[in-house]
Amino acid sequence: MSHHLIPRGVRRGGGRRALAVTTAGALALTAGALGAGSAAAADAPEQVTNGGFDDGLTGWNAYPAASVVDGRGCIDVPAGSGPYSAAITQLVPLLAGETYALSVDMLTEPATEANVRVVVQAGPDRNYEQFLPAQKAPLTPQEQTFRWTFTPSVDYPNAELAFQQDISNAGAYRLCVDDVSLTGGAEPGEYVPDTGPRVRVNQVGYLTEGPKKATVVTDATTARPWQLRQDGTVVARGRTVPAGFDPSAGVDVHTVDFSRVRATGEGFTLVADGETSYPFAIGDDIYDELRVDALTFFYTNRSGIEILDPIASGYGRAAGHVGVAPNQGDTAVPCQDLADDSQLLFDEPWTCEGTRDVTGGWYDAGDHGKYMVPAGIALATMLSQHERTLHADVVTDGALGDSTLRVPETGNGVPDILDEARWKLEWMLKMQVPEGQQYAGMANHKVADVDWTGLPLDPAADPQRRVLYRPSTTGTLNLAATAAQGARLWAPYDEAFAAELLEASRTAYAAAKATPDLLVPAPDAALDPNPGSGPYDDPDPSDEFYWAAAELFITTGEQQFQRDLVASPHHTGDVFTADGYDWGNVAPLGRMDLATVPNDLRDRNRVRLSVVKAAEQYLADAASQPFGHPYAPPEGDYVWGSNSQVLNNMIVLATAYDIRGQQKYADAVVEGMDYLLGRNALNNSYVTGYGTVFSENQHSRLYANQVDPSLPNPPDGTIAGGGNSTTAQTGDPVSTPLFSDGCAAQTCYVDDIGSWSTNELTINWQAPTAWVASFLADLGDGTPTR
């Protein structure tokens, strides 16, 4: 599926998120008189990006209801909002001993007494006494200019400049700021990431009998000697192979192949061109822990249940969105209000009567929304991870059985992975419109906050009103497909639940066929139709119809579903694109299940060959990449959440291995994981807790340690989104300024909690991480065992 240019404030794989940093540090500040004050020297460098809002909200985090009005950055603050629940913020660098001059034009409509404060804050704790002394004054619809000067006592590379709600407000108001300027300190330099040693390896390790390759960043034009050392002792030698310039990384590189090495243990390093890699291991159990850790994320991301610290140490919290104040959901959630501005994008305004209980499920990403479309592909991938253990030849018996994962249901006689999947399946069933209502049998597209919240924010503390969005054909077909798959997998363990799933699937499929074009409107740059949540718009549901028909046919064997899937253009079309499949392109899910799960499809051999053909193309793509990953998108542009595309291509390769048993497909999966675990342009492992240098500040309200050290980082095994070639056009407050002059695709990434376009976490990126980790763990030492 093509990826559209996303207007500011709208997301595909990630989304606009407000960053409400609440930590403080020691700043010595002097307030100037309102409307006057000390001015910085004329040549003092400017630290604020887009202070005049000429480029929309680029560079700013603003919430709730952010917009640019008459050239000013504005937020609309509802009545009854609590302290710090509304703000316009930006991260700025500060140097100790430098004097800074801050100036801003502000107004509110209507006038406010003391609701707004200006603050510069940073540091490792929440010492509010060390904030800029309260800079508050009555604001009116008449714009006023304010100026202050201050001198930090220590360096702050990411201090927060904030114009924020200070006390609860009785009435609604609009806050607008303009011509924001912070001058002083050093001239902002060009962003240069710290990429460590130029020798790039899988920082976790390599399988004993598997491929072992690395990449060396070097300008050398001829082969260079390399050494593999273990605890300082040389165990292998060779010479690099020049690979030339890699446009995806923006550097010249050589490759290293030390696959012949069979030594095992810890403490290996690779030395080449005067550089020494980060350490790594060689062994047979490299991926065993990741198989479990990658699935733990789903438990800690559950909604509607208390997360128990004894199960997931460090992640215990109260149940979120169970109707306990300040939550306003999810036990009795109304539908969209007919007066909601987002209704303007629908052909016909829509609402429904009464409320629905939609508790449960998983929080989708960095926000608290729950969406049918990403839920579908995430759940299908998880179910397929289990289903593979039933039909593939190379699996580890019992590795995903009962009492193998960190879930509260463990020990109930059901595979833990199915228990985790059930938590989401039951939520999806609740999203199905009941009989007697408009669009009965279809599924509401999502349940979410009515507006963006700041971070950090514990789900149990979310004060936003929750609403159900209009049903969609795509959301309904995601229910039909996953419920059908779930029905056949749950049948051996709970016949009643399996029957309920199959009935819901049949109903959803019939409802979607009756209303095949109830689509989510495409985002409008002038009107954000999804304040507080992502749109997940998709103009073509034909791939969802194919996928749902395939799953229903596999489960039931009924000819009506075979007729439907065979008639689909996706049945014989090329559904495996260079970009990889995603939530907007789900036909490969149906194609791979038809190829690997026993069924009586009359042209099943052709389907199996089509998967192998796709894998051959991904093999060629991997061979063309000096970093070894199976991803060569059109024009070299990495999409939002590119790491998930890499992973999904790896699933296609692994499926070809299950079909044909040829080692080349398994080896390509191994090398793809090398890229994700450190063999990349940034020398960064994108999996939290794995490797020497790894992503740990993914954009999340839950796992917000970067802004509140009392909170955890994401759980070990959590994947980050990865390089995004379009990040400079997204309005991402962190990455847009950093990459405004462009970036090589792999390097368009920053491990910062504010960078939602490169560093978010999502269930639909996490699920393929777990699937691939399980496949690799099944390989053991890397030797085929067929």
Max intra-chain CA distance, the chain: 82
Annotate 661-692 with three-state secondary structure. CCHHHHHHHHHHHHHHECCCCCCCECECCCCC
387: enclosing H helix or E strand: helix 372-391
603 catalytic per annotation: no
Q: Does residue 367 carry a catalytic annotation?
A: yes
* CA gap 661, 393 in Å, rounded: 9
3 state SS of 394:
coil
Query: Cα separations (Å) of 464 from 10, 173, 244, 369, 711?
Result: 19, 17, 53, 11, 21
521: cis peptide before it, omega within 30°? no
How many angstroms separate the CA atoms of 481 and 587, rounded? 11
| Annotated active-site residue in 658, 674, 752, 760 | 760
Among candidate residues 285, 35, 235, the one with its CA nearest the CA of residue 145 = 35
Q: Where are the alpha helices (DSSP H) in 491-640?
A: 495-514, 542-556, 559-567, 569-572, 587-596, 604-623
Extract the tokens encoding 542: 């034909």
- Identify any residues that bridge with 236 across adjacent strands, giving them in sequence order: 228
Sheet holding 87-94, edge to edge: 61-63, 87-94, 156-165, 116-121, 135-136
Asked if 699 is an active-site residue, the reply is: yes
Indicate which residue of 451, 699, 752, 778 is catalytic.
699
Q: Other CB atoms closer than 10 Å to residue 463's CB: what's the count?
A: 16
Specify whether the CB–CB gap between 81 and 112 falls below 8 A.
no
Residue of 462, 674, 751, 752 with catalytic role: 751
Closest CA to 754 of 7, 157, 19, 57: 19
593 is catalytic: no
Could you say which DSSP state residue 469 is in? Answer: P
CA terminus-to-terminus distance, the chain: 35
DSSP codes joined into one string, 354-374: S-B----SB--SSSS-EEHHH
Question: In the beta sheet, which residues pair with residue 68?
Answer: 73
Rounded CA gap, 712 and 716, in Å? 11
Of the residues 76, 288, 364, 367, which is catalytic? 367
Going by their DSSP bridges, the two strands 280-283 and 205-207 should be labelled as parallel
Question: Alpha-carbon distance 160 to 599, whole Å?
Answer: 58
Residues with a catalytic annotation lie at 367, 699, 751, 760
